[in-house]
Amino acid sequence: MPRILLGKPIIDALKARSLERVALLKNNGVDPALAIVRVGARPDDLSYERTAIKRAESLGIALRLFEIEEDAGQDALMKAIDEVNADSGIQGCLMFRPLPKGYDEEAACEALDPRKDIDGIGRAALARVFTGRGEGFAPCTAAACLEMLDGYDVSIEGKRVVVVGRSLVIGRPVAMMLLERNATVTLCHSRTANLPSVMRDADIVVLATGRAKAYGADCFREGQVVLDVGINVDADGNLCGDADFEAAEAVLGEHGAITPVPRGVGGVTTSVLMKHVLDAAERCRQ
């Protein structure tokens, strides 16, 4: 059986380090604070928001919630972002996306002060991820994948990595971050030919497509490390990843490893969000 890479040990380690950093910041007169900007009330957003609020509370990070009615319109959203930008007591901001229909998402992302863009939604942050230069933050889920690999001592340099999914939120940034760490990266998508064979060739597979249990035994081989970022609901209404977990488990063998869904990469994303708030708060102090 492969090693099951749970998120909890990584979350615990990040929490311990964050608690120390919060104490140091407070000793230096800085109260770290995170803003959440939410338009409407999508169940996914509310669920992530509850987790973020709990996590911030447990670390002593203040939280300012900007709730905007779904029909309030672009001006109300831009006003909230201006408020976040102007408030020197807020160091980081998470804005839930996708925004409801009728909102100009690009304008909203670009309006956020890049120094507070801790989830990498603006172009400045993505430029940092793609060039390896500058100060922007990587999208938290992409960064969480790296935390998992590093936390479990999975070596990256020289490894063949296949990333399935090319969104700007996960697939592309994680591919760039792995490239920066000297992996040999193949970025796959819905038009990739012979995907199972491409996947089998990898040492590390990152799945981020949002297709419930879509990748079965033919996509994996013994000894691979599989990071399953997908968060889906299966036919029975249960949370599941992109991999068919049981089928993958049977193929990966004792030298392989896989993240489960839930209890895998998902929770680490929130820890990375908090880490980024503290990075931003420390930068403000300098």
- Binding site residues, ligand NAP, CB under 6 A: 141, 164-167, 169-171, 188-192, 195, 208-211, 229-232, 265-266, 269
Cβ within 8 Å of residue 234, ≥6 positions away: 212, 213, 240
Q: Which residues pair with 64 in a beta bridge?
A: 35
Which of 25/188 has CB closer to ligand NAP?
A: 188
C-beta of 183 vs 229, nearer to ligand NAP:
229
Shortest reach from residue 188's CB to ligand NAP, in Å: 6
Complex with ligand NAP: residue 25 or 268, whichever CB lies closer: 268
Neighbouring C-beta atoms of residue 114, cutoff 10 Å: 18
Nearest residue (CB) to ligand NAP, 112 versus 231: 231
CB of 26 to ligand NAP, least distance (A): 28
Q: Rounded distance, CA 86 to CA 136, Å? A: 19
CB of 86 to ligand NAP, least distance (A): 29
User: Residue 237: what are its φ and ψ, rounded to 5°?
Assistant: 85, 10
At closest approach, how far in Å is the CB of 232 from ligand NAP?
5
**Closer residue to ligand NAP (CB): 93 or 219:** 219
Residue 55 CB, nearest approach to ligand NAP (Å): 13
Neighbours of 98 (CB within 10 A): 10
| DSSP-based three-state secondary structure for 153 | coil
Residue 23: C-alpha distances to residues 18, 27, 65, 270 (Å): 9, 6, 23, 19
CA–CA gap between residue 224 and residue 252 (Å, rounded): 6
Report whether 205 contacts 225 (CB < 8 A).
yes
Q: Least distance in Å: CB of 1 to ligand NAP?
A: 23
Choose between 25 and 94: whose C-beta lies nearer to ligand NAP.
Answer: 94
CA–CA dist 210, 237 (Å, integer)? 15
- Sorted by sequence, the CB contacts under 8 Å of residue 246 that are 6+ apart come out as none
63 versus 142: smaller Cβ distance to ligand NAP: 142
DSSP letter for each residue of 199-247: HHT-SEEEE-S--TT-B-GGG--TT-EEEE---EE-TTS-EE-SB-HHH
Q: How far is the CB of 79 from ligand NAP (least distance, A)?
A: 27
The closest of 71, 124, 114, 67 to 93, measured between CA atoms, is 114
CB of 145 to ligand NAP, least distance (A): 9
**Measured from the CB atom, is 40 or 210 closer to ligand NAP?**
210
